[in-house]
Chain A
């Protein structure tokens, strides 16, 4: 397998060493022009879609295959994809919609970006298979506004797929029709929440809806809608080509397949790494070149800031899969590893994260809107040397009162870093409050 990708803009990141990786979602990376239709077809692309549509494979058989694959939602929640698909009403008089969530805005998460810019056709094929299975004729891929060049790459791939007869009307001479469109966000983390995303597609501010009803019964324009993450859809063509069991076998029990890990922060080679589920963290750390500048690892946020931070010793003993991380009281999330070396001030790191949640709270629920502001202001006063020891309990109290008291999961996401940072690094917070300065930063 090639170790470097050629012909790619070197000003762009992520040209990671492919050695040791298992490429499913990024399988075109071994080729010279990974994003092109020709490359994808050369690797067997669109053959699963063609077979399914022309042989009129039963939807229930496809759903069974997806269930067998043990594919779980890659956006962070880890909900079994096959089960989610079975929630879509089979018969509905009107349009059903398919939505892809490429709105990565949680710090440290940038895996779907590489799918849409390096392997867009596999996502398109995955969505087309899902559309066939669920009886949806229209789909939207909602893409984070800040990665504009990649939005354009994906939209170009859509035109290419349509011209080649993989999207549009009467595909492969059958009566199956599927039109897929690229739409974009424009700077709102909350739109990664599926009902906020749906509101945004409808041209509204992105405030999450009450659930139930769930999107499967009331989604885009009030119609039944299936929403999955980019990496989930992109796994589908491989599953339909090689079988659900083969996908499940790539991983470990309860976590089928491969997973894209976005690695950022204090490592030698940040970027995306697609590996088998269940890889020991220590092996992954080696793969990314280890901690930069020869320093020691201090802490890791394993799945984006909405998952609990872990001290180095804890995560070094963990495996990278759903169960492996829940055993150490964190979670896999979207697989967004934020690595922090020994020089990192945990108080300042939490300060920055608390600002993010304060800034990105949509303002709909009082506990989140007000609570994230309180948390940010309390940590600000600690950072400014005006903290009081009782602030730590106050932070815990405020966070516990946000969590579980909001319409969407942002409240919980905002509380998790506060609670886990204080739990694991309390002495550092106490030192900062007592001395008015950081325990680790040079003064």
Chain B
């Protein structure tokens, strides 16, 4: 069951589209449900599809096509580091290895306590602030140094 809060947010997104185009809100609806539940299970996707009167497979297609949706658990905090060229040139490799050592996990792994998951991201469109990473998709941290990464992780504990 979608929560009343999620439904309220999805209903707001629906106001952006013609009444006969409910499916258009699926990008937002999946984002809203993922933010609330941490990741998108088959059941979550199915609930979204039902609410938007669209085939379940069409919602799954969207959820699996865009890489900020997570179809498996990602722990409490998903850290996505950009390693694309502009970040690479400003030593994102150092940030990645620092995070891997610090958290004791590789890409796409979750720490034993279920707190952190590390992901490799593609270009986030903020290359002036390279190297950078996002936490749970929506908080971006730029001009990273190993020290700054430590501060960010500390604040997440």
Contacts and interface: CB of A to CB of B under 8 A. Distances in A.
Interface of A: 11-14, 95, 104-110, 112-113, 140, 144-149, 181, 183-189, 200-206, 221, 262-266, 270-272, 301, 305, 336, 338-340, 344, 349, 352-353, 356, 359-360, 362
A305 B85 contact: yes
Contacts of B140: 146-149
Given A145-B68, A146-B140, A266 B125 contact: no
A345 to B, nearest CB: 10
B61 interface: yes
Given A146-B134, A183-B28, A221-B21, A264 B83 contact: no
Interface of B: 16, 18, 21, 23-28, 30-31, 52, 54, 58, 61-62, 65-69, 83-86, 88-90, 121-130, 134, 137-143
A75 B107 CA distance: 32
A274 to B, nearest CB: 13
Nearest to B90: A265
B86 to A, nearest CB: 4
15 contacts: A13-B126, A13-B128, A107-B84, A145-B31, A147-B126, A148-B134, A187-B67, A187-B121, A203-B24, A203-B54, A221-B21, A264-B90, A305-B85, A340-B89, A352-B83
A338 B125 contact: no
B83 A12 contact: no
B123 A264 contact: no
A184 B16 contact: no
A272 B143 CA distance: 15
Contacts of A221: 18, 21
- The interface centre, meaning the residue of B16, B31, B58, B85 with most chain A CB atoms within 10 A of its CB, is B85
Nearest to B129: A13
A407 to B, nearest CB: 16
> A-B pairs with the 6 shortest C-beta distances?
A13-B129, A205-B65, A146-B124, A187-B68, A187-B67, A264-B86
Contacts, number: 167
A264 B87 CA distance: 9
- The interface centre, meaning the residue of B61, B67, B121 with most chain A CB atoms within 10 A of its CB, is B67
B121 to A, nearest CB: 7
Contact of A202 (B23, B68, B90, B123): B23
Nearest to A104: B125
B128 to A, nearest CB: 4
Given A186-B31, A188-B67, A265-B86, A205 B62 contact: yes
Nearest to B60: A205
B85 A338 contact: yes
A262 B127 contact: yes
- The interface centre, meaning the residue of B58, B126, B129, B141 with most chain A CB atoms within 10 A of its CB, is B126
A174 B142 CA distance: 45
Nearest to A202: B24
A202 B21 contact: yes
Given A110-B127, A202-B21, A270-B127, A13 B65 contact: no
B129 A106 contact: no
A149 B52 CA distance: 26
A205 B89 CA distance: 31
B58 A204 contact: yes
A204 B125 contact: no
B50 to A, nearest CB: 14
Given A221-B21, A266-B89, A144 B54 contact: no
A12 B141 CA distance: 8
A145 B137 contact: yes
A203 B26 CA distance: 5
Nearest to B80: A146
Contacts of A353: 85
Nearest to A353: B85
A182 to B, nearest CB: 8
Nearest to B30: A186
A200 B121 contact: no
Contacts of A108: 85-86, 123, 127
B128 A262 contact: yes
B89 A107 contact: no
A360 to B, nearest CB: 6
A336 to B, nearest CB: 8
B122 A187 contact: yes
Given A146-B126, A147-B124, A356-B123, A203 B23 contact: yes
A424 B28 CA distance: 44
